[in-house]
Amino acid sequence: MKVGIIGFGYWGANLVRNFANLAGAELKRVVDNRSERQKYLANLCPSAVFSTDPDDILLDPEIDAVVIATPVFTHYELAKRALTNGKHVLVEKPMVSRISEAHELMELSRSSGKVLMVDHTYLYTGAVQKMKQLIDSGQIGNIKYFDSTRINLGIFQPDVNVLWDLATHDISILNFIIGNEPKSVQATGISHTNNGIENIAYLTVNYGNGFIAHFNCSWSSPVKIRMMLIGGDKKMIVFNDLEPTEKVKVYDTGYEHKTDEEKKNILVDYRAGDIYIPKLDTREALSLMAAEFRDAVTTGKRPLSDGVSGMKVIEILEAAQHSIKNKGIEVDIRRNS
């Protein structure tokens, strides 16, 4: 598999490092419009050629697979052009800025038979894989809520709000490990700049089945928090991504309610028992993601973070965008299928 990477910024450099070292893949060319990045590439991967025109990759018949790590608003055009030119495509998260673009890319992928994959790196971490296993095994029980806080003093993105930047991660995890189909969303937030792009935002996703998800995202916090609570009716999980090793804690904690018929009272039984901290796979998630892309391209295996998973994240983000700009009204998730 011969690979070209478009976009050689902070994350692009991580992609270069991983594809340069990926067995069964050859990193042929890296494109970035800042010509001064050439020197850095020479350092990082001397065998790859640098240039500034994406077409050097998109039109190169030798290149099988294109990795797109440019700003969000360029994803759609580049991915479309890559698929149209018969390339397999791996695109950074979030996949695109509009759900209609997501559907178009998925259709192109289907018709061309080329892979469309999104780099939701988190899905490949030991922590998320372990949480998925725990939930699938049934020991957590029915999941009742998902609550994520992802805040820090972060770079204000010029084109997308903080949900598109940060909640993307959490929504991809939510969709992966819970798998429920959302009914509607509500979002509130605030912009402290004069471009109207929210630097703080809160998102509720409703499911209509006793499960709820909530996201608190901010680029304006003095402290960094990466914490996720997942409550089941048997056990509960706390995922603190800032812990060096003890990231996932499973609490044998719960509550059961019964109605006291006579007195019409609610009786709730509480339980707080042992806690279990599983050992996690510590392999680099990005290298596993790169390998998944290679396998999808070379063997036809459907990747974990395929176009559908990318699209389902966009569904929620686009609806959230609509809500946040309309006084936080409830916005339905309309699945167009």
| Interacting residues toward a copy of itself by CB under 8 A | 46, 144-145, 147, 149, 151, 153, 155-156, 158, 186, 188-190, 192-195, 197, 200, 202, 204, 206, 210-212, 214, 216, 218-224, 229, 231, 236, 238, 242, 244-246, 249, 251-253, 255, 257, 259, 265-266, 268, 270, 272-279, 327-330
> Smallest Cα–Cα separation from 186: which of 313, 335, 331, 334?
331
Least Å from the CB of residue 137 to a copy of itself: 15
Least Å from the CB of residue 330 to a copy of itself: 5
Least Å from the CB of residue 186 to a copy of itself: 4
Alpha carbon distance 152, 146 (integer Å): 20
Alpha carbon distance 327, 203 (integer Å): 13
- Tokens representing residue 176 in the block: 């992966």
In the complex with a copy of itself, the residue whose CB is nearer, 62 or 261, is 261
Alpha carbon distance 31, 8 (integer Å): 7
Find the radius of gyration of the CA atoms of the chain: 21
In the complex with a copy of itself, the residue whose CB is nearer, 279 or 302, is 279
- Tokens representing residue 109 in the block: 């992928």
**Beta-bridge mates of residue 203:** 187, 215
In the complex with a copy of itself, the residue whose CB is nearer, 110 or 224, is 224
Least Å from the CB of residue 58 to a copy of itself: 27
Least Å from the CB of residue 60 to a copy of itself: 25
In the complex with a copy of itself, the residue whose CB is nearer, 36 or 62, is 36
Q: How many CA atoms lie within 13 A of 152 on its CB side?
A: 11
In the complex with a copy of itself, the residue whose CB is nearer, 51 or 220, is 220
Give me the residue label for tokens 């036809």: 300
